[in-house]
Chain A
Amino acid sequence: MAPVSLDQVVKRFGDVVAVSDLTLTAADGEFLVLVGPSGSGKTTALRMVCGLEAVSGGEIRIAGELVNQLPPRQRDIAMVFQDYALYPQMTVRDNLSFGLRNRKVPKPQREQAVAEAARLLGIDNLLHRKPRELSGGQRQRVALGRALVRRPAVFLMDEPLSNLDAKLRVDMRAEIRSLQQRLATTTIYVTHDQVEAMTMGDRIAIMNEGVLEQVADPATVYAQPANVFVASFIGTPAMALAAYSYSGNGVLRRGEIELPHATARSLPPDVVVGLRPEHVRPWRPDAGLVGPIRGTVELVEHLGRESFAGVRVDPEYVLTALVEAGHGPDLGESLEVGVDAAAAHLFDVATGGAIR
């Protein structure tokens, strides 16, 4: 049983606060993804759990034990690096067994563990090779193998897929996930790719500028973003966000656009309204949408199964609409869209927090 918990963890580099008051727990066996833009502190947080970075404040516990002062090798963790960090002069076999050898594991057990890890990852035929003789995907597998050969209590992964090409990345995503489920090892996984976060994580922790913005399962993060940052960061294309005014009569207003507001709670006079592309559709009178809202198409993305159109409805407001494939409008064309007003996300202008 090895949950990892961070309690008000702070990391300062000189005057810069890289991570501020991070309180977060990865339950035993959980796959927790730390996601955020670069500079959000997610890697720093991971490195503190690992022990490569000292904490400036707060407490980190692994399996209940306070590890703040423990060196990495005493934390029962393994890390997968972005650049794999395979030992270039050692064969795959030696790469895998290096950690066991340093821990004075007797040779027969070492060999058994290496063989098992290699089989699990399908690299048993590569054991005699050097890293430079491997493809990117194979190196990735060896890096994973080196982490799991020791059967640590916790896996830490720092953007392990970002050096792979797109196709391989999708395959490895599923593979890492199923491997983790089979081993049921607590995993903290850092990425800047929100698709990776959504597809892999049991829960996602979204970080921005050293602050934890929200932590929840992928569906919740998508359906109920806690604030404007999460709303804009999760989902592609991004949610369209714009300020509306509310004067109390049940209607949110921005210029000529009027959205009926169904929630019972009273709203402040200024509200940020977020609309996901799937809640903005080409206008049809019978579709139960609010509209029509007229605008100019200034961006079209054809994804095959569906298309997205960026429609500028006023000088500072572009609504992204989900359009059926084959019915994509042309650039510069005028388009009328309708909005599923009930699905709109409302945020406080001042704090950015969600209004529910």
Chain B
Amino acid sequence: MISRTERTATYAIAIAFAFLTLAPLVGILFAAFHPPGALLNGVSVPHSLSFSTFSNAWHRGSFGRLMLSSLIVASSVVAATVVLSIPAGFAFGTMRFPFSSALFFLFLSGLVIPFEALIVPLYYHFRDLGLTDTYWALILPQTGLSLSFGVFWMRAFFRATPRSLLEAARIDGASSWTTMTRVLLPMGRPAILTMVLLVFMWTWNEFLLALVMISDDAHRTAPLGLSVFKSRYGIDVPSVSAAATLVALPVLVVYVFLQRHFIRGVLSGAVKG
């Protein structure tokens, strides 16, 4: 049993952290409800609930097109990551083959090496290949990066599945493919959806790579659109806040849909279900 004091303290700390997390978001939301160009100081409560700044920012930044680019890039990266990391994680998690640990560490290095260190050489490579200013310049590097995480994540999932299930499937004459798709993957929905959510979020929010690789308007992604509101005279705070809210919205929507699985996926390593 948890004592009353302990429970009170738990709530107090949780509320304090929730406040710290939410305060800046609320500040941005408040700012977005001010008219475009308004000069703001700190958190300022809006006088009226007007969405005009949002529609204004949407048109000024042509976010319709940017979001479409982002969606193309993010969904390609997510799809490629899921399709590739599941079989790779299955192999790393359940099979013994030569150099498996060396190969796995190679994958892990993608998680360890800071991406910023790779961006400049990556840019020259892609320019030589003529791929800058294309979606490939965003999809390929981010798929590679996400695979580090995806393979690591799916390997952990497959390793956590009971070994006797794999063995039972082997005795039942199932091929590796059947074992993976029919026996183990149906249990893996929380793990896979968690991976989808994280990779989608990281790809959607990616800024630096897009900034370096894309100069052509047709291929710019949503986070780049925020720079429209920066002029040499300063930043249009209400507009950039509204635009930032719009850019964050898809991630939020995806999270709301997947959160039940997300929490289970994150917990599944810790608590045996």
Contact = CB atoms under 8 A, between A and B. Distances in A.
Interface of A: 50-52, 71-73, 77-79, 81-83, 85-90, 98-99, 102-103, 146
B162 interface: yes
Contacts of A50: 171
B216 interface: no
B164 A77 contact: no
A85 B173 contact: no
A81 B164 contact: yes
A89 B189 CA distance: 11
Contact of B168 (A71, A85, A89): A85
B122 interface: no
B103 interface: no
A75 to B, nearest CB: 8
Contacts of B172: 73, 98-99, 102, 146
B225 to A, nearest CB: 43
Contact of B170 (A73, A88, A146): A73
How big is chain B's contact interface, by range? 10 to 19
Nearest to A75: B171
Interface in B167-210: 167-175, 178, 182-183, 186-187
A201 to B, nearest CB: 23
Contacts of A146: 168, 172
B165 interface: yes
Contacts of B187: 88-89
Interface of B: 162, 164-165, 167-175, 178, 182-183, 186-187
B164 A99 contact: no
Contacts of A77: 171
Given A81-B164, A83-B162, A85-B164, A71 B170 contact: yes
A84 to B, nearest CB: 8
A87 B166 CA distance: 10
B188 to A, nearest CB: 10
20 contacts: A52-B170, A72-B167, A73-B171, A73-B173, A79-B167, A79-B168, A79-B171, A81-B164, A85-B164, A87-B168, A87-B169, A88-B186, A89-B186, A90-B182, A98-B182, A99-B171, A102-B173, A102-B174, A102-B178, A146-B168
In the complex, the 6 A-B pairs of residues with the closest C-beta atoms, listed nearest first: A89-B186, A99-B172, A73-B173, A85-B164, A102-B173, A85-B168
Given A87-B165, A99-B172, 16 more contacts: A52-B167, A72-B167, A73-B170, A77-B171, A79-B167, A81-B167, A82-B164, A83-B164, A85-B165, A88-B187, A98-B169, A98-B182, A99-B173, A102-B172, A102-B173, A102-B178
Contact of A85 (B167, B175, B182): B167
Contacts of A52: 167, 170-171
Contacts of B173: 73, 99, 102-103
A72 B174 contact: no
A82 B174 CA distance: 20
Nearest to B175: A102
Contact of A72 (B165, B170, B182): B170
A79 B175 CA distance: 17
B53 to A, nearest CB: 48
Nearest to A104: B173
Contacts of A90: 182, 186
A76 B182 CA distance: 22
A50 B167 CA distance: 10
Contacts of B175: 102
Contacts of A82: 164
A81 B168 contact: yes
Nearest to B165: A85
Highest count of chain A CB atoms <10 Å: which of B165, B169, B172: B172
A146 B168 CA distance: 10
A98 to B, nearest CB: 5
A90 B187 CA distance: 10
Highest count of chain B CB atoms <10 Å: which of A51, A87, A90: A87
A82 B164 CA distance: 9
B182 to A, nearest CB: 8
A102 B182 CA distance: 11
Nearest to B188: A89
A72 B164 contact: no
Nearest to A87: B183
A315 B62 CA distance: 94
B178 A72 contact: no
Contacts of B178: 102
A51 B168 CA distance: 12
B216 to A, nearest CB: 46
Contacts of B183: 87
B175 to A, nearest CB: 8
Contacts of B174: 98, 102
Highest count of chain B CB atoms <10 Å: which of A52, A103, A146: A52
A87 to B, nearest CB: 5
A78 to B, nearest CB: 7
